[in-house]
Amino acid sequence: MFNIEKLVRQNIRQMKPYSSARDEFKGTATVFIDANENNIGSLAGNNYNRYPDPHQKKLKSRLAKIKGVEPEQIFLGNGSDEAIDLLLRLVCRPGQDALLQLPPTYGMYEVSANLNEVRIDTVQLTADFQIPVEEVLRQLKPETKIVFICSPNNPTGNSINPESIEAILDAFDGLVVVDEAYIDFAHNPSWTTRLQEFPNLVVMQTLSKAWGMAGLRLGMAFASAEIITYLDKIKPPYNINEATQELALAALEKSEELKFMVEEIVQERELLTHALPRLKSVLKVYPSDANFLLVKVTDANGLYNYLLGNGIVVRNRSSLKGCEGCLRISVGTLEENQQLLQSIEEFR
């Protein structure tokens, strides 16, 4: 049976979180000399001399409406990379506990685990990049506290079968994190719609991809209010800066434009999916629900360097087990994609 109190590290359950100046003051006032700010002003303008809202209330309230969850079910991080790190630290004791990941997948689960001295157990995805569920269930040990599932998966681009994720959610007493950084480019519904069913489910999303705000660093984790309360307890107090909070809030009003941008990217992705296999150095384009394509080519290193020579940077994933001979290519603008196709055509 899943029990968040049992799962969270004892030191975190027992510790007192940092209490900020604005946490300790409730009510109205006109003179704020409680936080050692610069009350004369800010060289950056715009009230940036003040610390930002540590609870990001306005942003969470807006996001709750857009995502169909309660504000209490939202954690905001300095990118979803911060959420990955905090989730890991919440439940994994250094030198004792483990995470399970499913490569080829996003690299930060492993980096965070190594940083925190957490053991990394791995189960390789199948040849069609799906989860071998029986194998995963066999690999879950008493020390396994968290399973990271990336869907749509980076760098393969495919969505993971929901039945496989559900089987792991049902069988596992630890946290199951579904990283949906690319969900806005996919057809399948988000796992946020199933948070009520699974107390051990954490869904991560980000404004870095479809929303086009990678530079602002705003990642989201959705889970039960109990899990979110613990994440808030251990986050750096002011992890989302004021400029990000303001700019993200303004951008969230433009969901109509988001739709058009996503449609354009998906359309370009489909054009590339059809055009690339016609080139002689391309062996296979894997189906993608994301804003990038995994492409198997005849000579990955050669083509990678050739493209670099033409001023085009793609990601060489050919040394990753399961992605041998593959480049990962983000969908660019129409012009950039034409330039890419032209360059590959002229290779050798």
Ligand X SMILES: Cc1ncc(COP(=O)(O)O)c(C=O)c1O
CA atoms within 13 A on the CB side of 173: 12
Task: Judge whether 221 and 231 are in contact, CB under 8 Å.
Answer: yes
- Shortest Cβ contact with ligand X: which residue? 79
Q: How far is CA 281 from CA 42, 273, 312, in A?
A: 55, 14, 16
Instruction: Give the pair of three-digit tokens for residue 319.
Output: 């040394």
CB of 158 to ligand X, least distance (A): 13
**CB within 8 A of 223, min separation 6: which ones?**
73, 75, 195, 201, 202, 203, 231
Q: How many residues does the chain have?
A: 348
Residues in a beta bridge with 201: 176
- Cα 341 from chain centroid? 29
CB of 70 to ligand X, least distance (A): 22
Q: Which is nearer to ligand X, 52 or 279 (CB)?
A: 52
Q: Which is nearer to ligand X, 71 or 219 (CB)?
A: 219
Q: How far is CA 252 from CA 152, 208, 259, in A?
A: 22, 13, 12
Q: Which is nearer to ligand X, 17 or 162 (CB)?
A: 162
Q: Which is nearer to ligand X, 231 or 344 (CB)?
A: 231
Q: Which is nearer to ligand X, 200 or 244 (CB)?
A: 244
The continuous run of DSSP H or E covering 244 comes out as helix 242-252
Check whether the bond before 155 is cis (ω within 30° of 0): yes
The correct pick among 86, 181, 201, 231 for binding ligand X (CB under 6 A) is 181
Instruction: Give the pair of three-digit tokens for residue 343.
Output: 């360059």
Q: Which is nearer to ligand X, 91 or 150 (CB)?
A: 150
CB of 109 to ligand X, least distance (A): 9
Q: Which is nearer to ligand X, 95 or 215 (CB)?
A: 215
What is the C-alpha separation between 21 and 31, in angstroms, rounded?
13
Task: Judge whether 54 and 20 are in contact, CB under 8 Å.
Answer: yes
Q: Which is nearer to ligand X, 52 or 157 (CB)?
A: 157
CB of 294 to ligand X, least distance (A): 13
What is the C-alpha separation between 294 and 247, in angstroms, rounded?
32
| Binding positions for ligand X, 63-122, rule CB under 6 A | 79-81, 106
Residues in a beta bridge with 179: 150, 204
CB of 226 to ligand X, least distance (A): 23
CB of 154 to ligand X, least distance (A): 4
CB of 85 to ligand X, least distance (A): 10
> Residue 242 interacts with ligand X (CB under 6 A)?
no
CB of 124 to ligand X, least distance (A): 17
Can you tell me which residue has the tokens 């004021």? 242
Q: How many chain residues are in contact with ligand X, going by CB under 6 A?
A: 12
CB of 272 to ligand X, least distance (A): 18
Residues in a beta bridge with 178: 149, 203
From residue 123 to residue 152, the character string flagging contacts with ligand X as x (rule: CB under 6 A) and all else as - is: ---------------------------x--
Q: How far is CA 206 from CA 91, 215, 342, in A?
A: 22, 12, 32
Q: Which is nearer to ligand X, 44 or 111 (CB)?
A: 111
Can you tell me which residue has the tokens 């993608």? 288
From residue 197 to residue 226, the character string flagging contacts with ligand X as x (rule: CB under 6 A) and all else as - is: ---------x-x-----x----x-------
Instruction: Give the pair of three-digit tokens for residue 277.
Output: 């296999």
* Chain contacts with ligand X (rule: CB under 6 A): 79-81, 106, 150, 154, 179, 181, 206, 208, 214, 219
